[in-house]
Structures are given as C-alpha cells and as structure tokens.
Structure 1
C-alpha cells in the first residue's frame, strides 16, 4: 500500500512536532521548536512541510532560499525523517519530490539544498544515490542565537 503525502496544515502540528522530536532524538540533537513555533513558521510562510500518512511515517520540513549564483529561488530541506518501519521503500525520495514540487509552485524553486551530518553515512549515501553532491569550496557557517541578537543590536 502506498502512503499518501500531503502539505502539512494547522491540524498536523501535534504529529509534525512529535515526528520532528523523534528525528532530533535519533540524531542526538536538541529539540527546541514545539507545536507553537512550527505553527508560527508555517503560518508566516518561512517554512512548509510535507507529511506522509495520517499517523506520520515521514516528513520533510523546508524553507525558501534565494541564490544569485543559481539565478533564483530554491528550497533548503532542514529536516527529512522516515519512521524506522517505513524505511527502504522510497518514502524519503517521495517526500523530497513532494517538497520540490511544492517549492516549484510556491517559490518557482530551481534547486534543493540541505546539510547532512558527517557521521551519518547512511544519510549521505541516500542523498548521493539521488544525485546530491557536496558543494566544494564552501563551508557551512552559522551565527548562534546570541550572536544574532548581538549583531541585530548593532544596527
């Protein structure tokens, strides 16, 4: 049986939050965005999500990005999760495809970017099978929440 994939809406926040918490636990990450933060991000259009199944067996959470080098908009997939029992059946690929199609409609997206943990060999192999390649000559950098607030205060 094929699992249906749909764009997450307001009623999906509890399930979306729970699935993202499971992903964070699987990765050993902190999990700071709960239902309220997710609902706010989705309602403001700073994030969108594709969700698989009524009791989620997978999800993709993504945001718009713009690149002058690429010449247009793209999507940044911040989170891709497939439940352990649903892995190996193409659901991750289908979730990324649904996110890409949605981003093409919403933002006229031309590309997809994401980050993968260096220790996650299985995830990296999955992305490479789909045609993803490391971006050479670039290092992903991030300004912490405290650094962001300090920078904002300098305006």
Structure 2
C-alpha cells in the first residue's frame, strides 16, 4: 500500500471525513446511523472531548477511520481507551491498515490521558471482525456482559433517583 497519512480529526473537513467513514461502517453492519456531523463535532471538541478520531487517507481518498474514548478501570488501576468504531474501506482491507489505525489511536490516547490498555466490542454477527481482533491478541471477556441504558432510560433514572 502506498503511503497512508493518519490525521487526528480536528478540522471541519476531518469531521466530514470521519462522518463519511462511520456512515460506511454503519451501512456495512446494517446499523442505523444517527450521529452526524454536528454530533461528532460536539463530541470531538471542547475542554473535555467525549471522543477522539483519526482518519486514514491515501492521497485524497479516505481509506479508514477509528473513533475512540477514554475509559478507566479500577481492576486495571489505569486509564485505557474504548474503540467504538473502526472502519477500513474494502479497497484497503488486507493491507494492515486496521492494526495501524488501532496503534495510532492507542498512541494518541497514551499521549492525551496515559492509556495503557484497549477495549472494544464485536458484534456476534461479524465473525470476520472477531477473527481479525483475535489475530491481534484480543481475548473475549466471558465474565462480563455489555449492558446499555438509552437516553429515555437514563432520563428516567435521573428523574427517579433525584
């Protein structure tokens, strides 16, 4: 693969590229895509960003992206990063771009908040993705279940618990 440029998402142009990549990922997975340019801009900017992004470009062509956030584990006693989204274009698959994006995110998280471990979730309907992560040394956490509380439930919790 000729030279690929990894760029931390900061400009509006980069946010648009990240949004494009995440829309492609959502389409690949059959997911709804609700977060658009405005939501990403809000998450990526400000005094305490809730997310960080890196885009990979080959020339002007978007070929990959990663979106990640800080997380802290009392079990590990250290900060880490949660990779919520990793996308590589069909044209760039098999060329080592996925591991390079993950490494770029880990380096950036290490610089920003001292992250020294990484976590992510893999859909059960995506065995190819699971095999990719296993080849990199990821292990399934069989002792935990991912549980989510949506906006409506979170609002109800805050109202009920004062």
Name the TM-score class by shorter chain.
Answer: over 0.9
Specify the alignment match of 2:131 in structure 1.
125
Specify the alignment match of 2:52 in structure 1.
48
Secondary structure, counterpart of 2:148 in structure 1: coil
Quote the Cα distance in structure 1 between the aligned partners of 2:23 and 2:159.
Answer: 32
Quote the Cα distance in structure 2 between the aligned partners of 1:13 and 1:105.
Answer: 21
Specify the alignment match of 2:89 in structure 1.
83
Quote the Cα distance in structure 1 between the aligned partners of 2:136 and 2:3.
Answer: 20
Secondary structure, counterpart of 1:58 in structure 2: strand
Quote the Cα distance in structure 1 between the aligned partners of 2:150 and 2:78.
Answer: 27
Specify the alignment match of 2:7 in structure 1.
6
Secondary structure, counterpart of 2:83 in structure 1: strand
Quote the Cα distance in structure 2 between the aligned partners of 1:3 and 1:115.
Answer: 26
| TM-score normalised according to structure 1 size | 0.97
After TM superposition, the structure 1 = structure 2 runs for residues 94-133 of structure 1, keeping only pairs within 5 Å, are 94-133=100-139
The alignment yields a C-alpha RMSD, in angstroms, of 0.9
Contact kept, 8 Å, 2:17 with 2:55, in 1: the verdict is: no
Structure 1 gap segments, 5+ residues each: none
Contact kept, 8 Å, 1:58 with 1:81, in 2: the verdict is: yes
Q: How many corresponding residue pairs?
A: 155
Contact kept, 8 Å, 1:10 with 1:39, in 2: the verdict is: no
Alignment partner of 1:152 is 2:158: yes
| TM-score normalised according to structure 2 size | 0.93
Give, in angstroms, the shift of residue 10 of structure 1.
Answer: 2.2
Structure 2 gap segments, 5+ residues each: none
